[in-house]
Structure 1
Amino acid sequence: MGLAGVRIVLVEPAGPLNVGAIARAMKNFGLDQLILVNPQCDPLSAEAMKMAVHAKDVLECAVIVDTLPAALQGCIRAIATTGRMHDWQIPLENPRTALPWLLEQPGQPAALIFGREDRGLSNEELNYAQRFVRIPTNENYPSLNLATAVALCCYELAQCIPPETPTPSEIEYAPLELVEVYYQQLESLLLQIGYLYPHTAASRMEKFRQLYNRAHLQTKEVAMLRGILRQVEWALSNHNNE
């Protein structure tokens, strides 16, 4: 499920600009489940939509509920964010170390909870989470904008997912006969320009073969290389005719 199972839960957000910016940040990093608990603004207002830019679909699909327990229904893990220091025994963790925990049960919904812009989450609301994170900021100005806090956490979550790479079956490697045609074309051109000499051509071409073999050439790459050789041959021909 990856990031698709993570819900971003906003408790009583008051600013439509913040809500729109949060939708945009979510889409930037591959999250799309936005849950609004008793929002104090219209998430579909013109202001919110303007800030969302190309993430209007995140706002349009946002789920609105009355209570935090309703937002967490079905979740097996929940992390709450807080900017305040508490005298609890439970530590406040760094998002980078705590947030990967939300993804450790693939296929199971999890939630990342954010509080109000002006006062965050109440102690009662914090009790619904199993772990708590605080974004480290400069002590001279520790307060973060809500949308900024969400964007930072979404970024950290996205870093937990390895980038998609094509599988070997999706890569069209060049067949050996096509690469061989390229080698013949390359050798002919290098002999023509004097880079190779007939008595050393075989040993030099072995070096080129070793180099290209390490590269595991794809069909489109061989086509590009052959195109370069053809252009060089054309340029040489035109120069000789001048």
Structure 2
Amino acid sequence: MDTLPAVRIVLVEPQGEINIGSVARVMKNMGLQQLWMVSPRCDPKGELAQRWAVHAEDVLQQANVTDSLEAALADCQRVFATVGRDVADLALPCWTPRQAAPQLLAVVQSALVFGREDRGLTNAELECAHGLVKIPTANTYPSLNLAQAVAVCCYELWLTACDSGETFPQGDAVPFERLQGFYDHLEQVLLQIGFLYPHTAASRMAKVRSLLGRAYPTEAEVALLRGMVRQVEWAIQHAAMISSETFPLK
């Protein structure tokens, strides 16, 4: 085995060329090739980044740069986000890199998202994920450098793929953007029927995302759920038409 083509490493607003180059290097060490960067705060392919990439210039040069996390996660069927703080309020499952590795390798395309060097990922960004990954550390100094955190996670992915000798199943998981489309549609309809209110919609939808995210719905299951939402939407519109015909405005 030379590569792990299933896993995408996503860096959100990385600030240092040294970190970016170091990430590219460790990715190549562990057989990962897909590097995505969201709104980098430095030149992601600059001279310093290339120098620290050493023999991984190809990973750096082929890296994709985008201005939105959603674009970086397109086509991904499983998304985990890394955290270094307490996020119990998000109600998302949290794993160690070792526990997360087989789940990321179990689909055709997955993503592991890393946050900013100084403040990590926002709650809104974390809510895009199916689950969280936290690296266990000593309590005396739990903060890891970005490149070090990527190295730990990439090592666990490589070790899982090599040591298990297992052929991971390629399940019929739904791509990120299709699941996002369902959530957006569901939120619109729930607002329409008064189940959600604008000032609480974000927090309540986060719980819905967490619930369905833990279930890893397939393409067929999301299509079923979306069909249900469409039917509810049709019923609302149909009821409004009947009401206007029965009780016409004078």
Q: Any gaps of 5 or more consecutive residues in structure 2?
A: 166-250
Question: What is the TM-score when the length of structure 2 is the normalising length?
Answer: 0.63
Q: Equivalent residue for 1:96?
A: 98
Q: Equivalent residue for 2:87?
A: 86
Q: Equivalent residue for 1:118?
A: 118
Distance 1:131 1:94 in 2: 11
Cα-to-partner distance string for 1:86-143 (whole Å, 9 max, x where unaligned): 12333421111112101112xx211000000000000000011001011011101000
Note the C-alpha offset of 1:164.
11
Q: Equivalent residue for 2:26?
A: 25
Identify if the C-alpha distance between structure 1 residues 153 and 164 changes in structure 2 by more than 3 Å, giving closer, same or farther.
closer
Distance 2:17 2:130 in 1: 29
Q: Equivalent residue for 2:128?
A: 128
Note the C-alpha offset of 1:162.
2.6
Rg comparison, structure with higher value: 1
- Which amino acid in 1 is paired with 2:148? T
Distance 1:164 1:127 in 2: 31
Distance 1:50 1:138 in 2: 32
Distance 2:29 2:150 in 1: 12
Identity over aligned pairs, percent: 53
Q: What secondary structure is seen at the aligned counterpart in 1 of 2:35?
A: strand
Calculate the aligned-residue CA RMSD, in Å.
1.8
Identify if the C-alpha distance between structure 1 residues 81 and 164 changes in structure 2 by more than 3 Å, giving closer, same or farther.
closer
Cα-to-partner distance string for 1:166-202 (whole Å, 9 max, x where unaligned): xxxxxxxxxxxxxxxxxxxxxxxxxxxxxxxxxxxxx
Distance 1:25 1:14 in 2: 18
Distance 1:54 1:87 in 2: 40
> Are residue 109 (structure 1) and residue 102 (structure 2) matched?
no
Distance 1:96 1:138 in 2: 17
- Which amino acid in 2 is paired with 1:95? P
Note the C-alpha offset of 1:163.
6.2
Q: Any gaps of 5 or more consecutive residues in structure 1?
A: 166-242
User: Any runs of at least 4 consecutive aligned residues in structure 1 with deviations exceeding 4 A, and if so which?
Assistant: none
Q: What secondary structure is seen at the aligned counterpart in 2 of 1:8?
A: strand
Q: Equivalent residue for 1:66?
A: 67
Q: Equivalent residue for 2:237?
A: none
> Are residue 57 (structure 1) and residue 58 (structure 2) matched?
yes
> Number of residue pairs matched?
163
Distance 2:116 2:21 in 1: 15
Identify if the C-alpha distance between structure 1 residues 52 and 122 changes in structure 2 by more than 3 Å, giving closer, same or farther.
same
| Contact 2:19/2:146 (8 A) holds in 1 | yes
- Which amino acid in 2 is paired with 1:5? A
Cα-to-partner distance string for 1:17-49 (whole Å, 9 max, x where unaligned): 000000000000000100000111111111101
Identify if the C-alpha distance between structure 1 residues 164 and 143 changes in structure 2 by more than 3 Å, giving closer, same or farther.
closer
Question: What is the TM-score when the length of structure 1 is the normalising length?
Answer: 0.65
Matches within 5 A, 1:90-239: 90-105=92-107, 108-162=108-162
